Each structure stands twice: as C-alpha cells, then as structure tokens.
Amino acid sequence: MASLKELKGRINSVKSTQKITKAKQMVAAAKLRKAQAAAEAARPYAQRLAAVMASLASRVTVSESSPRLLAGTGSDQRHLLVVANSDKGLAGAFNANIVRAALAKAASLRAQGKTVKFYLIGRKGRPVIRRAYPNDIVKNFETMHVRQAGFTEAEQVAAELTAMYTDGEFDVAHLFYSKFRSALLQEPTEQQIIPVPAPTAAVEETTGGAVVEYEPDEETILADLLPRYLRIQLFGALLENAASEQGASMTAMDNATRNAGELINKLTIQYNRSRQAAITTELIEIIAGAEAL
C-alpha cells in the first residue's frame, strides 16, 4: 500500500496533467474555429475553378497531344504518395490514421508490382514511414517554420511535384490527408492529384446556354488552369488537414481531461481510506495502551 505522502504526490501530479490537457483543449477549440473559417473562405475559389475546369474538360477530348498533367504519362508503374501530416502531436490518432491509410495503399501497390515513393509534408508521419520504407522517401517538406501551412506552401509543393513529374520521376501521385467532417470526426482521405482527374462536379450553367467565347482557345486555357487546379487541391488539403488536426486534438484532450478527473477521484478515495486506516490503527494502539495500564 502506497504511503499517504506518495498518494498525495500522485494526486497533485495528475491534477497538473489535467490542467495542461484542459488548456490544450481550449487552445485547440480556438484554433479550430480559425481553421474552419479559413477552410470556408477558400471554398468559393475552389468551387469556381472546379466548375470552370469541368465545363472545359467536357469540351476538350483527352488525347496524346493533351497536356501531360491531364493525360498522364501513359504508364502507371511508378506511384508517388504525398502524405500530409501535422508538425505537432497531442492530437489523438490524427496522424496515425493518415499514415496508416498511406501505408495500406503503398502495400497494395507494391503487391501489384508497382514502385512506390513517398513525399512527406509535415514532421509527424516521418518516423513511421521511414521505418517501413527507409529508402523510398523522396523528400520531407518542412512546415515547421510557418505557423500554419497556407497557399505559399501549397505553391511550393505543387511546383516541386510538377517538376518531378515533368522530369519523369513518377507517373501517378496520390495525396493523403484528413478530411474535416466535424470536431469529432475526421476522415483520412486518399485522392489522386496527378494526372489531374477531370472534375466531374455538375457543370454549373452560368452562361444560360449561350455560346461562350474562349480567349485563347479551350486547350490553352485548360493547360493554363491545370497547375492552378493542382495548387488549389493541395491548398484545400492543407486547410482540411489543419482543421482536422485541431478537431482531433480537441477531442483527444477532452478525453484526457476526463480520464485525469476519474483518476483523481479514484486516488482521492484511496487516499481517504488509507488516512482512515491510519487513524483507526493509531486509536487501537492508544486504547490498547490505556487498557494495559
């Protein structure tokens, strides 16, 4: 049985842990609101661009001469998995879920005899993937120096991916991130980003059926928009990831705070019992002493 002093120490240490988890929960809640607002603000642009892309794609037939970002390299042998993680932990299974989805995909691609490489964004996924595929990590993209990965980072990643694609280093790129459903639910998601899948979103009829003039022609505009579409996909994923991270963190810290509370109650009961037992023993000793006289 632990001594009273030990129990008291443990109660205090659990109490300070609870304070930390509670603080982190509140910070995550505040950051979540911000991240959600950012994700919402990015939506109009993404929707417009997707609508334009869809209407263009329906007019242009994919052929040999189409831009490579759309038509692909003609092979699907080499795959690049772009895995977006966060830089900080304390977010429950958030990073683990994304990494697990990526590793599962990698394993299934390997089983089909394809080559798989990794492009990692953020710090948290690295050790796990490095353990499984020590020689297949092409690049670790740093996001530590910025507070929140934003459009600048999306642009950099997109530029690097496009350069690698043009140099023929891979045929297909998949993006792994976590989609934000609610503070309680984040969905690890896989999405093909290169070759750009033609958006199939319902073509928004903004023109009222009138003939649209394209300046220059459709193909040129499409070729021009493809890299932008890639950037906005990455940007969107980063924003979703940021919101998911905060959501996951909030839930995890809420649980941790509750667990700490339960532990404190249990330890307090144990402490009171031991104290009572000590008092009883002392009384018995005194009474026994008095009777002996």
Partner 1 sequence: MLHFELVTPARLVRSEDVYMVVVPGSEGEEGVLEGHAPYMTTMRNGALKIYRTENAAPEEIQVEGGFAELGRDGLTVLAEHVAEG
Residue 49 beta carbon to partner 1: minimum distance, rounded to whole angstroms: 6
CB of 19 or CB of 59, closer to partner 1? 59
Residue 162 beta carbon to partner 1: minimum distance, rounded to whole angstroms: 14
- Give Cα separations from 7 to 10, 11, 32 (angstroms): 5, 6, 37
Q: Could you give the CA distance from residue 189 to residue 80 in angstroms, rounded to a whole number?
A: 15
Residue 46 beta carbon to partner 1: minimum distance, rounded to whole angstroms: 8
Q: Judged by CB under 8 A, which of 34, 48, 181, 258 binds partner 1? A: 48
Beta strand 78-84 pairing with 186-194: unpaired
- Give Cα separations from 92 to 5, 186, 190 (angstroms): 33, 11, 20
Residue 65 beta carbon to partner 1: minimum distance, rounded to whole angstroms: 19
Q: Could you give the CA distance from residue 121 to residue 240 in angstroms, rounded to a whole number?
A: 14
Q: Could you give the CA distance from residue 291 to residue 157 in angstroms, rounded to a whole number?
A: 86
Binding marks (x or -) toward partner 1, 144..183, rule CB under 8 A?
------xx--xx----------------------------
The residue count for binding partner 1 (CB under 8 A) is 33
Q: Which residue, among 47, 45, 44, 40, has the nearest Cα to 202 in the 3D structure?
A: 47
Q: Judged by CB under 8 A, which of 26, 41, 201, 283 binds partner 1? A: 41
Q: Does the footprint of partner 1 cover residue 238 (CB under 8 A)?
A: no
Q: For residue 230, what are the contacts with CB-CB under 8 A and spacing of at least 6?
A: 69, 158, 161, 162, 193, 194, 196
- Give Cα separations from 125 to 25, 33, 129, 217, 263 (angstroms): 22, 25, 6, 43, 31
Q: Does the footprint of partner 1 cover residue 224 (CB under 8 A)?
A: yes
Q: Does the footprint of partner 1 cover residue 235 (CB under 8 A)?
A: yes
Q: Does the footprint of partner 1 cover residue 210 (CB under 8 A)?
A: yes
Residues forming the site for partner 1 (CB under 8 A): 38, 41-42, 44-46, 48-49, 52, 56, 150-151, 154-155, 205-208, 210-216, 220-221, 224-225, 228, 231-232, 235
